[in-house]
Amino acid sequence: MAACLQHTGYDQERLLHVSDKLPCRVFQAGTLLSLMGEPSQYSYPSIFLYGHRSTGKSHVVSTLLQELELPHATVSCVECVSAGLMFERVLLALFGPDTTSLLPRSPSLSDFVRIYRQQCPQSPANQTRFIVIEKAELLRDMDANLLPVLLRLQELIEDNVTVILLSEIVWDQFRPNTGCFEPLLLHFPDYSKGDLQQILSQDIHPSYSAELYSAFINILLGVFYSVCRDLRELRHLAALNFSKFCEPLKEGKVKESDTHKLWRNIEPHLKKAMQTVYLREVSSVQWEELQMEEKESGAMKGLSAHAHVELPYYSKFLLIAAYLASYNPARTDRRFFLKHHGKIRKTNFLKKHEKTSNHLLGPKPFPLDRLLAIFYSVVDSRVAPTASIFSQISSLVTLQLLTQLGHDDQLDAPKYKCAVALDFIRAISRTVNFDIVKYLYDFL
Amino acid sequence: MSTSSVSKGCFVFKPSAKKRKTCDVADYFSHSCDGSDNSRLRYKLCQDLWDAIKADTEKLQEELNRKILDGLLQFIRKCCSTFQHNADDWVSRMRASEIPTAALVLGVNVPDHDMTFQSLCELLQQSVTPHVAFLQAKECGALKNLMQRVLERLMGTAVSVDEEEDEAEQPGGTQPRQKGAHCTLATLCEWYECKTKKSNTPGKKRSSANEDEPQRPPIVIIFKDLEAFNPRVLQDFILICSRYVEQLPLMFVFGIATSPSTIQHVLPHSVSSLLCIELFQSLSCTLHLATVIDKLILTHHFPFKLNGKVLQVLVSIFLYHDFSVRNFIKGLKLALLEHFLSQPLSILCCGKKEMVGNATQLSHQGLESVRQLASFRRYVEQQKPQEQVDLLTNDEHMKETCKKLLKGLHKYHKNFYPILRCLHTLTNALPKYPLGKQIRELHIMCLEGNVWEKEEYQSAMQLLRMLAKEELVKALKHSEEILTPCKSKKMKDVLVQLQQLLDKFEHLDETKTETAANEDVITSPGKSIQKKTDLFQLQKTLLEMKETRRTKKMSQFEILRNEALEFMSGLVRSYLAPPETQPLYEVCYYSSSTVLRRHLNATPRTSIQTALSSPYHYLQNDKLLTEDGVSNAAPDICIVHKLHLECGRLINLYDWLEAYATVVSAAEGKDPDSEDYGKVDELKHARFIQAVSELEFLGFIKSTKQKTDHVARLTWGGC
Amino acid sequence: MSKRKADDSHMPIGESISQAQTLLRERLCHQRLPTRPEGVASQHKHLLELLKRTAVHGESNSVLIVGPRGSGKTMLLRCVLAELLTEADVQKTLLQVHLNGLLQTDDRIALKEITRQLSLENVVGDKVFGSFAENLAFLLEALKKGDRSSSRPVLFILDEFDLFAHHKNQTLLYNLLDVSQSAQTPVAVVGLTCRLDVLELLEKRVKSRFSHRQIHLLSSLTFSQYLQVVRAQLQLPDATFPDSKFCHDWNASVKALCEDKSVEEVLQRQFNSTKDFRSLHRLLMVSLCRVSASNPTIKPADLVDASRLFSADSKTNILHGLSILELCLIIAMKHLNDIYDREPFNLQMVYNEFKKFLQRKSHSMYNFDQPVVMKAFEHLQQLEVIRPVDVAATRAQREYQLVRLMLDHTQIMEALQKYPQCPTDIKQWADSAFA
């Protein structure tokens, strides 16, 4: 370890141990520790840690608190559907199970503070108590007073307590309009390339040498660092591609020392993986399968490759009609769908002033009647307006291929939007050999 | 049920179905059909037949799902094994923090999914883990409900959740709440812990299952319809779950209808990065249908048959509207019921032995109805005069002939399907598929008329005439395979002949070698064709062939080929005649496609229209019979509807009422010059209001903000 | 290892340092009361007078203490109370009720709290009251018929006073102020708020019952006084502190610190931006944390660093961690903002802009297909770097959801400068849309 924590308040051995557990985060941990001070000393009422996902926010905090055996409660706002749940968690962690029974159902902040105060003297506060709140950004959606109270909890409870908020979002987005007690901001910067190298190299494959693995990681970072710095994602990618990387070794073609060959072997695969970075399409197993079959068929395939959807014949046309309805201006329908539309010259019918195309602005809502009108004119045979036609529309909605706007009271005419992309609808209309581009206003 | 949308209307709510259940189906059966005695028997036959079909279909479904489900199970087993000896190998260590997830792509035929998931659940519970939670989107509106469902399904106990409810019943009451009643995963953890502990101790329930069962069985959560879930809820749930990966061996199964990429749409990367997704794709539902038809329709095991039109209806509903095999089978069931209900002679529609038995028990009346049958008439006319008399007078003789004919019908079926398959094997590879790609198309063709008279058949034959040798032989060999299992004598003969043909093809090679010299000149066009697949090109070469044929003598292969094809078409002519040609075919064939269509593919709008515009059509009351559809005596709603047709986009309620009152009093037969003619009294007013609100309920009009005393009309046109 | 030995040798210093830390931390974090509040002498006097009248002479009263956050309202009040309670009889009689608008979010809760703080639960028991007024009256009555005949003065302290104005038709405020008007039990209502317009929030009937006394805390500190405050905050008390030598050194170092040029300009900046004590405490706190056995005094550098820590723009920090792709998207958005002056835009447009850039660049390093870009976009949205225009339309296609960029030009540019190994072509692109 390069640096190492030290603080007069704590046992040096322990700190050493802790700093081993926090690679590349010793500095942040040090700052935090110095803010927390010695257990007996007062600490700042509220500290706000922010930084990107997987920059070790909660890891650092939890490791510190656990290793140094400080009294603390950790809650995640995702889990706390109600404030009451959060209170209960906190009390449970700080004062043991029997206290939670004191809480009334749907407790108010006042109840929480009251009970906390009651408990304090019984378990004397010779140490600072810590309340860690993860995903703090969700606090904003909860009770409006919750955040301000937590920020100045120390003052309200008159106990040596510190609230640590963790979030990916900057503090400016939190501040309520009447202002509040300002917490101490602490930024967790993202890992540098070196840090990533160091961290990723730690999970070594048992059957290969550490050098090899770190070499692999080095290659990986070389390709991906520019586009992806998320530690989690990188680890995922490493797990995906390592076996591929080792293939020539297994076959005994190349020896470990020959990094260049290995690189030339893996590089194309990484390039391919580039296309699906962040998508999390395939688990490692299937990835390998794909690599296999992709030997025969040139193209790289992920989940998105099977984008094709089988639909009943009329559903296809309904979807096409919906697409046309939501991407064509209503006034152009006559020209497209009337057999003998009188004298609508292409010139005067194309309006120049519409500068941005509808495919940039996205689909427009349309009423059911228009959808059906277009449907009947595009579908080749004549179709009876049977119940199943309408049920198909609603099932398209449940499949999220259409979206219904507003309340779904069928009595007053509902409006819909088409929720599929151009490529998708192209593929669909190809199967029923309907040339949709001829009917799209944007492509005239 | 709320009538909020129809505010002022007064409605009759039907009592729950309890009362109407009392009458037994069999009774209904007997009541419905015109006083024939054998209704019970028919009902029983119908039942048996249906049970047989049902059993078959279920077996079929199982087989079809097996492949994908096995893959899924294997995946789950693998994961839970990694849960067991926790993460000894590198890969699983790398993935320790991720929740294994199976993305199960089932296609858009949502109705069919239930069965699949049901069998999946059962399989899981008996082979992998007792802890399976099955979730549907409609019951998980909010995170709370989702949690509640999960816990309920897993722990099998009700858990109190809703803070709101608590507040509602007791605002801020300070009684302590009982522990563990919370709807959180923490609760689940505790439960799971003690559960596993218990299951480790000897002498617990499910002991038999537990021997092979792993110590920490995984918890599988199945999301039936991923698309319909509220993304927000799903994301939160997954986030929460990921915090408990260490304590709980969780697993997800996503049921996806459209395409796997929906996962990306529903879940942002921050969430999807917590999952380790594997993809499982089910086979397409058209294949599914093909197998179902193959097993249920194209077989002589079930005496009940559909004629071309009916089959057409069912298939087109499947292809055009819903890819749902389940609905297809439902349609089949309906047809079955209808047949046995409407056709008195359907007692004869059953297995050979019972059929003969039933035939002997035929009453005079029954025989009479047999004599009425068109096909039977045709049959009679072909007989000699003496025979005719006997048939029409002598019941005993009649019975005998009936048996004979019925047996004949059976044979017909026995031979029909093998030959059909053979023809299909020959023709399904042809360019442009003149006789259809799927066997069902060919089947329908054959049902509708003499297939050999259709020009599709002709063109198919022409194409066959220039089939390359190996293709032809392949097809013939395949049809040989088809024919071998057949037991009927005729088919055996056919098989023999076919084998002889094949032998000839075998020996052709030797003969060819000798006459190779002059062969290649002639067969060269034939050779060139082998590459050609385009129809037009083939026609062209066909003409060339004609000339060459005229000029040069045909090669041995060509002779043999023609021979084979002649043989084939001979078979077609003799065995693929449409059922209508068979006497007594009505007994087995259900033919009223319109009924079926009306039931399966209803047109509510049109029927409402007819009901309103010409009530006579449904009520059959002569008073309503007028030239312009709606008479004054018609029900209020009809009158109101008629009147509203004459209005514009907005309708003034008061004018409407006035008009209505006039019409009604005309119907009451008041004399036009009495002073209270067309006056609005409470009764009329009430009736009017009711009618109007019923119209609103039907969606013809709605109240509008633009003018307070007006309603907006939701339909166009008028008179 | 050597470090540890050093610790051992300096053990007494380490001891005294932790002593000092404890003392100062209590001062900075926990608002331990100073001997005298600075710069608010007049207000202090005024308030003391008022409360005395209630506590001693049994007059009812109501007053508002108004001042921006961190201007020492609470501190002032507590000082006054402390001083008030020095008198014995007051200590005996005076009852205090502390309410906080953040905690007592409605009148029901507030009333429960009042009952509890007056320790009357047992008296109230499970009586049912028709109205709030009755209930309150009963409470005060109950106080009166305690052991002594004369009723005891009650002091109601309403922190975050403005929040109480949001309660359902302001029943609590109405009744309290009403009582404070009528001559029955001596009641003093003290409200603390940071809203200058608080009176506008009150209903007519409530406002009319309020004696319009307001004490404004708009601190009129000069910079020199400010420096004094800073120094006073850091000083250790010579008398009480055990290790007198260390204490002396420390105070000397503090004095030196306050005279240091760099420190002075840091404080000047702080002073100009805001005078409130909280942010000052925050600043001092951070710099204090640096003090340890190895560096036993606060160095100017520490203070400067601390101030830099606060002045750092967090958004730029966040941008630093983004991937190139996300950065590209942001640049594209910036250009869109320039083109259609700050009109909202959707992903499609951004993607288009980005593609234009890629087409100009021949090499295809960054061209990802749409799903990947979508993910990047989502991430930005999650970080609230971009905000959807209407939150309601979340169900609609995300590609077409209209959003706004929450960054300004300078932030983006600064981030680009700081960005590790940022490709030059992207920098150029950021400078001009047609690079």
Average pLDDT over residues B240-254: 89
Per-residue model confidence (pLDDT) at position A62: 92
Binary contact (C376, A278; C-beta < 8 A): yes
- Please say if the pLDDT value at position A112 is more than 70: yes
Q: B564 near B501, Cβ under 8 Å? A: yes
Among the partner-chain residues B143, B173, B606, the one whose CB lies closest to the CB of A104 is B173
Q: A214 near A242, Cβ under 8 Å? A: no
Confidence of residue B88 (pLDDT cuts 50, 70, 90): low
Per-residue model confidence (pLDDT) at position C335: 92
A183/chain B closest Cα distance in angstroms? 26
Binary contact (B175, A105; C-beta < 8 A): yes
Question: Among the three residues B564, B589, B614, which one is the final residue of a domain in this structure?
Answer: B589
Per-residue model confidence (pLDDT) at position A354: 52
Instruction: Report chain A's C-alpha Rg in angstroms.
Output: 30
pLDDT digits (tens, 9 = 90+) for B689-712: 999 999 988 888 888 888 888 888
Higher pLDDT, B3 or C210: C210
Q: Which residues of C touch A109 (CB under 8 A)?
A: 102-103, 105
Per-residue model confidence (pLDDT) at position C152: 80
Higher pLDDT, B181 or B194: B194
Confidence of residue A144 (pLDDT cuts 50, 70, 90): confident
- Percentage of chain B beyond pLDDT 90 is 10
Binary contact (B264, C379; C-beta < 8 A): no
Average pLDDT over residues B541-565: 73
Cβ atoms within 10 Å of C189's Cβ, excluding its own: 25
Mean pLDDT of chain B: 79
Query: How many CA atoms are closer than 13 Å to the CA of B172, on its beta-carbon side?
Result: 11
User: Does A403 touch chain C if contact means CB atoms closer than 8 Å?
Assistant: yes
In a domain, B304, yes or no: yes
In a domain, B428, yes or no: yes
- Please say if the pLDDT value at position B688 is more than 90: yes
A399/chain B closest Cα distance in angstroms? 6
Q: C213 near C83, Cβ under 8 Å? A: no
In a domain, B188, yes or no: yes
Q: C385 near C331, Cβ under 8 Å? A: no
Average pLDDT over residues B322-349: 88
* Chains A, B: CB pairs < 8 Å: 183
User: Does A360 touch chain C if contact means CB atoms closer than 8 Å?
Assistant: yes
Per-residue model confidence (pLDDT) at position B314: 92
Average pLDDT over residues B337-362: 84
**Domain with B178 in it: what CATH number?**
3.40.50.300
Higher pLDDT, A294 or A182: A182
- Which sign, positive or negative, has the C-alpha torsion A314, A315, A320, A322? positive
- In this structure, are B406 and B456 located in the same domain? yes
- Please say if the pLDDT value at position A192 is more than 60: yes
Partner residues linked to A416 by β-bridges: A366, A404
Distance, CA of B159 to CA of B161 (rounded, Å): 6
Per-residue model confidence (pLDDT) at position C409: 87
Confidence of residue A130 (pLDDT cuts 50, 70, 90): very high
For chain A positions 354-383, those within 8 Å of chain B (CB to CB) are none
Binary contact (C282, A156; C-beta < 8 A): no
Partner residues linked to C97 by β-bridges: C156
- In this structure, are B315 and B402 located in the same domain? yes
Q: Which residues of A touch B696 (CB under 8 A)?
A: 411
For chain B positions 159-188, those within 8 Å of chain C (CB to CB) are 172
Per-residue model confidence (pLDDT) at position B520: 43
Per-residue model confidence (pLDDT) at position C42: 85
Partner residues linked to A34 by β-bridges: none
Residue of A nearest to C324 (CA): A227
Confidence of residue A315 (pLDDT cuts 50, 70, 90): very high
- Please say if the pLDDT value at position B607 is more than 50: yes
Binary contact (B269, C375; C-beta < 8 A): yes
- Please say if the pLDDT value at position A291 is more than 80: no
Residue of B nearest to A281 (CA): B277
Three-state SS at B47 = helix
- Please say if the pLDDT value at position A131 is more than 90: yes
Per-residue model confidence (pLDDT) at position A344: 54
Higher pLDDT, B508 or C197: C197
C60/chain B closest Cα distance in angstroms? 33
**Most trustworthy range by pLDDT among A316-330, B533-547, C353-367:** A316-330
In a domain, B581, yes or no: yes
A117/chain B closest Cα distance in angstroms? 18
Among the partner-chain residues C108, C109, C382, the one whose CB lies closest to the CB of B268 is C382
B177/chain C closest Cα distance in angstroms? 19
Residue B234 belongs to domain spanning? 59-86+96-200+214-283
- Please say if the pLDDT value at position A133 is more than 90: yes
Q: C124 near C138, Cβ under 8 Å? A: yes
- Which sign, positive or negative, has the C-alpha torsion C306, C311, C315, C320? negative
| Edge-to-edge strands, sheet with B710-713 | B650-652, B710-713, B701-703
Binary contact (A108, B172; C-beta < 8 A): yes
Residue C397 structure tokens = 């296609």
Among the partner-chain residues B177, B259, B285, the one whose CB lies closest to the CB of A307 is B259
C31/chain A closest Cα distance in angstroms? 9
Residues 6+ apart with CB under 8 A from B14: none
Confidence of residue A70 (pLDDT cuts 50, 70, 90): confident
Distance, CA of A36 to CA of A43 (rounded, Å): 5
Q: Does domain C41-216 have CATH number 3.40.50.300?
A: yes
Distance, CA of B530 to CA of B232 (rounded, Å): 59
Q: C185 near C155, Cβ under 8 Å? A: no
C349/chain A closest Cα distance in angstroms? 6
- Please say if the pLDDT value at position B228 is more than 60: yes
Distance, CA of C343 to CA of C389 (rounded, Å): 10
Confidence of residue A316 (pLDDT cuts 50, 70, 90): very high
Question: Among the three residues B254, B283, B312, which one is the final residue of a domain in this structure?
Answer: B283
Mean pLDDT of chain A: 82
Beta-strand pair B275-281/B99-105 = parallel
- In this structure, are B421 and B502 located in the same domain? yes
Binary contact (B264, C374; C-beta < 8 A): yes
Q: C: neighbours with 3+ CB pairs under 8 Å?
A: A, B
Distance, CA of B398 to CA of B371 (rounded, Å): 9
Binary contact (A360, C349; C-beta < 8 A): yes
Among the partner-chain residues A110, A113, A362, the one whose CB lies closest to the CB of C399 is A362
Domain ranges of chain C: 2-31+221-311, 41-216, 316-431
Q: Which residues of C touch A230 (CB under 8 A)?
A: 323
In a domain, B297, yes or no: yes
B264/chain C closest Cα distance in angstroms? 8
Distance, CA of C114 to CA of C108 (rounded, Å): 10
Confidence of residue A346 (pLDDT cuts 50, 70, 90): low
Higher pLDDT, A263 or A324: A324
Question: Among the three residues B283, B307, B324, which one is the final residue of a domain in this structure?
Answer: B283
- In this structure, are B387 and B449 located in the same domain? yes
Q: Which residues of B touch A244 (CB under 8 A)?
A: none
- In this structure, are B356 and B419 located in the same domain? yes
Domain count, chain B: 3
pLDDT digits (tens), chain C, 435 positions: 333 333 343 446 778 888 888 888 888 876 666 666 667 788 888 888 888 888 888 888 899 999 888 888 888 888 888 888 888 877 888 888 999 998 988 888 888 888 888 877 777 777 777 777 788 778 777 766 554 446 788 889 999 999 999 888 888 888 888 888 876 778 889 999 988 888 888 999 998 988 888 888 877 778 888 888 888 888 888 777 878 888 888 888 888 888 888 988 988 988 888 888 888 888 888 888 888 777 888 888 888 888 888 888 888 888 888 888 888 899 999 999 988 888 888 888 899 888 888 888 766 666 777 888 888 888 898 888 898 887 665 566 778 888 899 888 888 888 888 887 788 888 888 888 775
Q: Which residues of A touch C310 (CB under 8 A)?
A: 185
- Please say if the pLDDT value at position A350 is more than 60: no
- In this structure, are B303 and B257 located in the same domain? no
Least confident of B53-67, B451-465, C114-128: C114-128
The model's pTM is 0.84
In a domain, B518, yes or no: no
Q: A129 near A94, Cβ under 8 Å? A: yes
For chain A positions 7-66, those within 8 Å of chain B (CB to CB) are 53
Distance, CA of C176 to CA of C32 (rounded, Å): 30
Structural domains for chain A? 12-187 (3.40.50.300), 193-305 (no CATH), 313-443 (no CATH)
In a domain, B44, yes or no: no
Partner residues linked to B220 by β-bridges: B132, B251
- In this structure, are B405 and B493 located in the same domain? yes
Binary contact (B172, C108; C-beta < 8 A): yes
3-state secondary structure string across B86-100: CCCCHHHHHCCCCEE
Confidence of residue B180 (pLDDT cuts 50, 70, 90): very low
pLDDT digits (tens, 9 = 90+) for A208-227: 888 888 888 998 888 888 77
Two domains, one topology: C41-216 and C316-431: no
In a domain, B381, yes or no: yes
Least confident of A9-13, A14-18, A43-47: A9-13
Binary contact (B269, C108; C-beta < 8 A): no
- Please say if the pLDDT value at position A110 is more than 80: yes
Q: C297 near C252, Cβ under 8 Å? A: no
Q: A: neighbours with 3+ CB pairs under 8 Å?
A: B, C
Residue A116 structure tokens = 């906390």
Q: Does domain C316-431 have CATH number 1.20.1300.10?
A: no
Residue of C nearest to A225 (CA): C323
User: Residues B152-179, buried b or exposed e (16+ Cβ, 10 A)?
Assistant: eebbeeebebebeebeeeeebeeeebee
Binary contact (C398, B265; C-beta < 8 A): yes
Distance, CA of C30 to CA of A273 (rounded, Å): 54
Type of residue at B406: L
Higher pLDDT, B355 or A124: B355
Among the partner-chain residues A8, A111, A230, the one whose CB lies closest to the CB of C14 is A8
Distance, CA of C345 to CA of C353 (rounded, Å): 11
Cβ atoms within 10 Å of C101's Cβ, excluding its own: 22
Average pLDDT over residues B213-239: 86
Per-residue model confidence (pLDDT) at position B60: 87
Distance, CA of B82 to CA of B92 (rounded, Å): 7
DSSP single-letter state for residue B624: G
Q: A191 near A54, Cβ under 8 Å? A: no
Per-residue model confidence (pLDDT) at position C396: 63
- In this structure, are B180 and B225 located in the same domain? yes
Confidence of residue B391 (pLDDT cuts 50, 70, 90): confident
